[in-house]
A and B are shown apart, each in its own frame.
Chain A
Amino acid sequence: MSLSKLKSEANPGKFLPLSNAEFHILLAIADEERHGYAIMQEVKESTQGVIRLGPGTLYRSIQELLQKGLIVESERYPAANEDQRRRYYRMSSSGRRVLSAEARRLSEVVAIAKSKRVLRKLPT
């Protein structure tokens, strides 16, 4: 087991705050494993086009996340009719813990913004 993975399992707070790209990539693969292009599309759709990852930023962030042990490369191979260069990525258990810690941290930030009346109450 790598040192970074051990660290993330012991204390997910060590990896916080995540970069914008890292956070959205983790969110994109939270529900299912995806390949690079699918991650890009998911990030674009979930942020209504506010965050658009280019291939360079995407794979640099993927490399960082792999090194930290927050995601792993899936054993799944592309289907015969798909591009054979595709690789699928999924979240590791430590990745899920770190993502949850980051989401909690951001929700606390939102709570502070609300308490200071920076943010109006969202319509229910």
Chain B
Amino acid sequence: MNRWLIVTSHVYQCVVFAYPNDFRRRYAAEMASVFEESWEDAYRKRGTALAGLCLATAYDLMVSVFAAHVSRFFSNFKSDFEFISKSPVFAAAFGAVAGNLFFIQEVVFGPPFGLRKTVQERLVLLGMASTNIAVLWLASACIFQFVVHTSNKARLLLLKDRLHAFRRLAGISVLLAMVATAKLLITGDVSLKYATDAAPAIGYWVGFPVLLLTVLLIIFLLQPVLTLRSS
């Protein structure tokens, strides 16, 4: 095998890592094979064929990697909603995540989209949102461990999918919280003094997550009553 082909094939196989996991696992070997055959074909033709192939492949990679991620995001989002809508407790958890997004948008957008807030108030909102998301995440992990030890396999599989869906949605709010933090850091509004001045009493931090978990627990216990059964 040509030395340059070995090098470019290795480079190609490294770049293929940019595709989503499931796609890469299924098609990476075949894609590398197709690339190598195209390379050999272009090499035989000489002239500018190889340069053309490299440019076309780079363009194809950029476009298809982006398209693969966008399509995966939307298909995951769609299936997440399908899973979550089947269970009131997960719908409630999704509501909680959406509530956190409200906090975060207050930080990301100032007026006219968000309300006018001081830096300290924005930091508190961001802290609250992060705490709530962390508590929800932790709760989902605890519920899963509880079910692993108490339930049968079918229920475990169903819950696993729903928790996975919920965590992904929570992941989006974590990402947005990071954007909000980055925005505060870049604009230079954050200092340690502000952070400590802004910190409210411990009850303020604990109160909302406890309330949130209590509501989720109540809905979880009432789930058999709340779930609509199709005839």
Contact = CB atoms under 8 A, between A and B. Distances in A.
Q: Do A and B come from the same complex?
A: yes
Interface of A: 36-37, 40, 52-60, 62-63, 83, 85-87
Contact of A57 (B29, B37, B64): B64
B37 A56 contact: no
A37 B61 CA distance: 16
B35 interface: yes
Identify whether the interface residues of A are mostly helix, strand, loop, or mixed. helix
B67 interface: yes
Contact of A54 (B26, B32, B56): B56
Interface of B: 19, 23, 26-27, 29-38, 56-57, 59-61, 63-65, 67-68, 71
A87 B29 CA distance: 10
A56 B61 contact: yes
Contact of B60 (A55, A62, A63, A87): A55
Most buried by A among B19, B23, B36, B64: B64
Contacts, number: 60
Contacts of A53: 60
With most chain B CB atoms within 10 A of its CB, the pick from A36, A37, A54, A55 is: A55
B63 A56 contact: yes
A56 B60 contact: yes
A53 B34 CA distance: 11
Given A54-B59, A55-B34, A62-B27, 15 more contacts: A37-B38, A54-B61, A55-B31, A55-B38, A55-B57, A57-B60, A57-B64, A58-B34, A59-B27, A59-B31, A60-B67, A83-B33, A83-B36, A85-B33, A87-B30
Contact of B23 (A37, A63, A83): A63
Contacts of B27: 59, 62-63
Nearest to A64: B71
Contacts of B61: 54, 56
